[in-house]
């Protein structure tokens, strides 16, 4: 559990994003847009990214990647060390990562069922 001050820091829609990320099954990966959509923020891929940035280890961030094309996801982390660590974590869970850091969404992409629900969370502000 995060510390109280850190909790207050992420006391908005970010919490829903974290819950969504924790719901990603092991051995599967999801894109930022996917996470945002399930968390109730369609088109809020950048928000999910920001949430992940401040999460700092309290969520399995290695299961979330940026979408490079229609069929592949790509690790888009700036830090080469973090990218390598993410790739190692994914491979340890059974996910095959190509040389360019690409992952086949058709195989390892997270198929969540909350896709057709289209429920929008109310804005806090």
Partner DNA sequence: CTCGTGACTTTGT
Partner DNA sequence: TACAAAGCCACGA
Residues lying near DNA in the complex (CB under 7 A): 9, 12-14, 31-34, 41-50, 52-53, 55, 61, 64, 66-67, 69, 71-72, 76-78, 82, 86, 100, 123-125
Q: Taking the complex as a whole, how short is the minimal distance between the CB of residue 25 and DNA, in angstroms?
A: 18
Least distance in angstroms from the C-beta of 77 to DNA: 5
* Residue with Cβ nearer DNA (45 or 97): 45
Sequence-distant contacts of 107-113: CB under 8 A, at least 24 apart: 108/27, 108/28, 108/29, 109/28, 109/29, 109/30, 109/31, 109/34, 109/73, 110/24, 110/25, 110/28, 110/29, 110/30, 110/34, 110/63, 111/28, 112/23, 112/30, 112/34, 112/38
Q: Which is nearer to DNA, 78 or 106 (CB)?
A: 78
Nearer to DNA, 2 or 72 (CB): 72
């Amino acid at each position: 559990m995060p510390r109280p001050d850190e909790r207050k820091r992420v006391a908005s829609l970010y919490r829903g994003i974290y819950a969504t990320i924790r719901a990603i099954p092991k051995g599967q990966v999801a894109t930022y847009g996917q996470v945002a959509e399930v968390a109730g923020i369609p088109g809020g891929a950048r928000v999910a990214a920001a949430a992940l940035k401040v999460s700092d280890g309290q969520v399995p961030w290695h299961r979330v990647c940026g979408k490079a094309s229609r069929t592949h996801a790509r690790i888009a982390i700036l830090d080469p060390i973090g990218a390598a660590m993410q790739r190692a974590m994914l491979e340890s869970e059974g996910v095959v990562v190509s040389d360019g850091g690409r992952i086949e969404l058709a195989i390892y992409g997270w198929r969540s069922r909350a896709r057709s629900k289209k429920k929008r969370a109310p804005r806090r502000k």
